[in-house]
A and B are shown apart, each in its own frame.
Chain A
Amino acid sequence: MSKLNCTDFYDISALLTEEEIMIQQAARDFVDNEVLPIINEHHRNATFPKQLVPKMAGLGFLGANFPAEYGGAGLNNVAYGLLTQELERGDSGIRSFCSVTGALVMYPIWRYGSEEQKKYWLPKLAKGEKIGCFGLTEPDFGSNPGGMITRAKKKGDKWVLNGAKMWITNGTMADVAVVWAKDESGKVRGFLVEKGTKGFAAPEMKNKFSLRASVTSELTFNDCEIPAANQLPGADGLKAPLSCLTQARYGIAWGALGCAMACYEAAVAYAKERVQFDRPIGGFQLIQEKLTWMLTEITKGQLLALQLGRMKDKGTYTHTHVSMGKMNNVKVARECSHMAREILGANGITDEYPVIRHMMNIESVYTYEGTHQMHQLIIGEHITGIQAYR
């Protein structure tokens, strides 16, 4: 029986099927050969490696857990999680692209879209022929999306959108934006807005120090008219966009482990090689304590993600379980990146090593898809029955 070729201290491999392991290995191979050699250049120049899109699409990475009839690879959720783990070991920006495509664009169309919308968009998105984005956050409404200002007004057989979205991954390069806006009754509804629609613009937000190899944009709507057929008929209220976030957060719970593993593996290699006071720094207790912490937390995170995935496959998970996965594993990754950076000393601040890039990236991941604190409060509400965030 083959084994995962990533950090696997507790023999997680033994809990996986042959295909799940093969998928992890295939994704890791891809990242080693196609992502790692080019990622620094894109990170330095703050550009998204768009040339990877057809390659990833060709291998089935986009919408990988969707059924084949809509262009997906039909993966179960554990295999899909291992894929996001490996992609994020490459770069959080690459994983973000795949998360947005599958969980935030394909998912709402698949779950809330009309048959025509599904038939038209899903295969194109899975093949990478079209790129999508998901616009929920606004300048004044982040953790509290229910307060959104963006409005949609019905006018004959059109909807007219007004408002602005911010921090939208893929925005500028997207062919279609899934936009969430309130109708006249104040109900949140979903709309598909195509690139080039009059009154719609998606300028890129520059000067990010995190997720530099990912495009982040504003979306603006000024009397932007879209056909009534572009509304997602099944999306009825805030729970629709939140259900998409649950999908994306699930992938992040695994993805964060990839970031943590990249940092841990870099730290171990460095600690064994770097000699100070005539011995490898890995021989000092203070370094060993950090490495031990990292491996222990990564291992716990793997078990958490795996059980979460099995529950998702069985349909026995709730969004609260996903909150714990996202909250814990991103926190672990964030701590690992800091510890690894410390262990690398001055080398920890150069991009000759992947650590500082991961450390900067994980700050976005810590904040998006529900900030760390929001997930604490969601779980707190589950425990006590008392909502603390309002």
Chain B
Amino acid sequence: MKIGVLLKQVPDTETRIKLKVDKSGLEEGDIKWVINPFDEFAVEEALRFKEKAGGEVVIVTLGPPRAVDSMRQALAMGADKGIRIDNVGAHLDLFMTAKVLAKVVEEEKFDIVFGGKQAVDDDCAAVIQYVSEFANIPHVSPIETFECSSDLKKATVQRPVAGGLKEIVEIELPCVLGCEKGLNNPRYASLPGIMKAKTKPIAEKKSADLIASGELKVQTAGWALPPERAAGKKVEGEPEIVVDQLVKYLKEEAKVI
């Protein structure tokens, strides 16, 4: 089995985001970069599948050189090799990003592709679907369980739907699967794993070599931080009065009841 994992490097969710002075983007200096948490589930599921079905796990990342650190993390967990598509200087929106990734998926002839259901930086939750469309293979996202048939031809996955219901989907391979929290418990990289990671190959490609440049469908118009949170209101006094006050605030100001 040739198992692909789409992995994105994102700012740690605890990082306090700052904008560049001219507001043209993020100030990257203080950002701690990590593997997109949903992609960790994808790596883990890919590794488990490889342990059952044999084959290799290939990490595919579109990103700048710093993204290699996150790829090495996945290699330390047990993935076999990586492909990084450099995006420095390239102007790519979601659509183009997915085109690039789909091209790699086709070139590599993956039998199955795991990715996170969304990246926690922009929360777009669209790349899995786009990639599946462009690579012309089916997808399900998000998945909470994964099981492959013994002939490795199809998989059964569970997908949460509204109202706590579960949709059980049978999907043919090759396919793209978007991984959800709870699918598994990602392993820690072991020390021998980390030592081995440095010897595993990471191939480099340029996005321009994979797809012709096209007009962007989505342009970033600007960046803004969320407004400073206003100070809270504190109500004090006898319970009867306080409760009345609270109800009034919740109704009229917070408008939540």
- Which stretch of B117-125, B191-199, B210-218 is in the interface? B191-199
Q: Nearest B residue to A80 by beta-carbon distance?
A: B191
Partner of B190, one of A19, A68, A73: A73
Give A206-233 as 1s and 0s: 1 = Cβ < 8 Å from B's Cβ atoms: 0000000000000000000000000000
Q: Which chain A residues (53-73) contact chain B, with CB distance < 8 Å?
A: 58-61, 64, 68, 73
Residues of B within 8 A of A30 (CB): 188
- B189 part of interface (Cβ distance < 8 Å): yes
- A125 part of interface (Cβ distance < 8 Å): no
For chain A, the count of residues having a C-beta within 8 Å of the partner chain is 21
Q: Nearest A residue to B65 by beta-carbon distance?
A: A1
From known contacts A5-B32, A18-B198, infer whether A74 and B188 are also in contact, taking CB-CB under 8 Å.
no
* B191 touching A59, Cβ below 8 Å: yes
- B73 part of interface (Cβ distance < 8 Å): yes
* A26 touching B192, Cβ below 8 Å: no
* A29 touching B191, Cβ below 8 Å: no
Q: Which chain A residues (67-119) contact chain B, with CB distance < 8 Å?
A: 68, 73-75, 79, 83
Q: How large is the interface on B (under 10, 10 to 19, 20 to 34, 35 or more residues)?
A: 10 to 19
* B191 touching A64, Cβ below 8 Å: yes
* A19 touching B198, Cβ below 8 Å: yes
- B81 part of interface (Cβ distance < 8 Å): no
- B76 part of interface (Cβ distance < 8 Å): yes
Partner of A75, one of B33, B69, B195, B198: B195
Residues of B within 8 A of A73 (CB): 190-192, 195
Cα distance, A18 to B196, chains bound together (Å): 12
From known contacts A73-B195, A75-B195, infer whether A22 and B73 are also in contact, taking CB-CB under 8 Å.
yes
Closest CB in chain A relative to B77 CB, distance in Å: 10
Q: Nearest A residue to B198 by beta-carbon distance?
A: A19
Residues of A within 8 A of B193 (CB): 60
From known contacts A29-B188, A59-B188, infer whether A19 and B194 are also in contact, taking CB-CB under 8 Å.
yes
Partner of B191, one of A5, A18, A60: A60
Q: Which chain A residues (1-54) contact chain B, with CB distance < 8 Å?
A: 1-2, 5, 18-19, 22-23, 26, 29-30
* A61 touching B191, Cβ below 8 Å: yes
Closest CB in chain B relative to A301 CB, distance in Å: 23
Cα distance, A171 to B194, chains bound together (Å): 32
* B190 touching A59, Cβ below 8 Å: yes
* B69 touching A23, Cβ below 8 Å: no
Cα distance, A23 to B192, chains bound together (Å): 10
Partner of A83, one of B32, B33, B66, B191: B191
- B72 part of interface (Cβ distance < 8 Å): yes
Partner of B194, one of A1, A2, A22, A68: A22
Closest CB in chain A relative to B197 CB, distance in Å: 7
Residues of A within 8 A of B198 (CB): 18-19
Partner of A60, one of B66, B69, B190: B190
* A22 touching B188, Cβ below 8 Å: no
Closest CB in chain B relative to A30 CB, distance in Å: 6
Partner of B72, one of A18, A29, A59, A60: A18
* A68 touching B192, Cβ below 8 Å: yes
Cα distance, A39 to B192, chains bound together (Å): 26
Closest CB in chain A relative to B251 CB, distance in Å: 33
Cα distance, A30 to B32, chains bound together (Å): 18
Closest CB in chain B relative to A65 CB, distance in Å: 10
Q: Which chain A residues (362-382) contact chain B, with CB distance < 8 Å?
A: none
Cα distance, A5 to B32, chains bound together (Å): 9
* B189 touching A26, Cβ below 8 Å: yes
Residues of B within 8 A of A26 (CB): 76, 188-191, 194
Extra inter-chain contacts (6) besides given A1-B69, A18-B69, A58-B190, CB under 8 Å: A1-B66, A60-B192, A60-B193, A74-B192, A74-B195, A75-B191
- Pull 16 A–B residue pairs with CB atoms less than 8 Å apart, ordered by A: A1-B66, A18-B72, A18-B198, A19-B195, A22-B72, A22-B76, A22-B189, A23-B191, A23-B194, A26-B191, A26-B194, A58-B190, A59-B191, A60-B192, A73-B191, A73-B192
Q: Which 9 A-B pairs have the closest CB atoms?
A: A60-B191, A73-B191, A2-B69, A59-B190, A73-B192, A22-B194, A60-B190, A60-B192, A26-B189
